[in-house]
Chain A
Amino acid sequence: MSSLELRSLNRAYGPQLVVEGFEQRIASGEFVSFLGPSGCGKTTTLRMVAGLDEPTAGEISIGKRVVSAPARGVFVPPEERRLGMVFQTYALWPHMTVGENVAYPLKLRGMGRSERDARASRMLELVHLGGLDLRHPHQLSGGQQQRVALARALVMEPEVLLLDEPLSNLDAQLREELRFEIKDLQRRLGVTVVFVTHDQSEAMAMSDRIVVMKQGRIRQAGPPREIYARPADLFVACFLGAANVLEGVVESSEAGRCRVRLQALPGAPVLACRGEPPAGRTADVVLRPEGLRPAPSGALAGRVERVTFLGDRVDCRVACGPAMLRVSLPASGAPSEGAAIALEATDALAFGR
């Protein structure tokens, strides 16, 4: 197993920088997700790690080995990087059987036929596909193909496993199932994993750390809980989990806490928030749907417009003056549509403009 280090990585296509100043150290055995909206440079970064794309500046090391360093003319081609990679399209070779697909990386390393077939079979068992060696990829379901791709990526015990949205082509249930399997395999094999996704729940469920990206830059990196609880900026706050965003004016601010007046709302309520935007300036206040709850003394007064039943919880839309707030409440004792309601805000976050 190896650590992975990306230092000041840049990638330009013509004048456009699609990855800029990417700096990240991934520890050996760590599971790290690159999370961000479409086009933010996740795939590009992953491909640079794999050697399928070249940085225009910066350095990449796998373990102690520098594999990309354009300034020094260093470039290790993908076949010499000893990585495993799972592609979004799976990229299973149709002219080989499942067993041959999985055994191919071993064949390239000169392993004899019987040994590599045995190892491929064992690997297939590990991903719950024992006995399907002789099938062809097109004879498998999407989930099974995904598992074959995983087995192929892991068969030569790579130092680092790269996954590019491996679950995005699967239906919701299968996705959930495979999340656990991938996580389980990673724990058992101890392999370092870089996982690319734009699904925040996937990233939060699986990762030791999440790297949130936007427009080629890292906005924040850290454990899922920390990022969720203490997002560095408005973008990160909104990208991880649902959020109500309200505009206000900072009244006072000190020691990481502040008070923000929401002028547009009825009664111009003042909320206590975490964050330290400068006093007197405009700020954005983020309220999580589950951070709002009904309380007689609640500062936010409104009317319940719509209640959506979601099983154990309900999702309410509450009109507070011009703003429409999303509120998540336990199903028992939920308000009815049209009722007046007062909400209390906990864990409000404020970000200066």
Chain B
Amino acid sequence: MFPIIAKEELGPSVFRLRVRAPLIAAKAQPGQFLIVVLDEKGERVPFTLSDWDAEGGTVDFVFLVVGPTTEKMARLQVGDTIAHCVGPLGRPSHVDTFGHVVCLVSGYGIAAMVPVLRALKGKDNQITTIVQAPDKKRLFGLEALKEWSDKVLVATSDNGNGKGPLASDQLRHLLAEHPNQPIHRVVAMCSLCLMWVVTELTRPLRIPTFLHMTPIMVDGTGMCGACRLQVEGTNRFACVHGPEFDGHKIGSWDVLLARRCSYADENVLQQSYSCRTCSQW
């Protein structure tokens, strides 16, 4: 049993939980995730570690309420327990001294990216973070992003005049300055469609672009193949070979989008990928 030590509401339908899970905390690295099973009849659902305390034996994650499990989770209180937690799963995010790194985040990525930013900062990178949110009300965790970034660009729809820029617009501006103000690496932990757009924007410039791919998972240990995606034409499992992948090597975006359409950002969607035509859960 994994007791809940702390709970915080970060915004509408966004929560942070701190859970006692010493085995996970002891080995956690930036970009890794855990799998949670709320009770013996529960689903196995993955969440990215947003913080941990190896000595205190606790891990944090931030989640958006999107469906039955996360709704149930939102009702849990400090002192309640979670039946199962397993992790840290997946490979850590690759961190080195790259130079200028542009990070794109949205949704839970806003919190889940923080350990990666911290590690990148620890390696003396210059960091520009672009954060996208539907509106100011649903923008959370800005302070942590600011703490570990040299510059934070906010993309919300109510930036002053009611129709603000998108994260992809912000990135376009930065790319226009490249190579005068070179970008050495792009890391994205945001909606799938935005990650696709980012990949296509950086591809012609050959800027290494790394994405946190989160296809639907079941076991999270490489046993079921639910999380497979095409990387350079071969099958890779996001739970063991990822979740971080070289975006320019990922294929079959249409299939990935159809499988996980719920986070679709209408603004960057192409007509044929509209969620209304997608039959996947």
Asked whether A and B interact, the reply is no
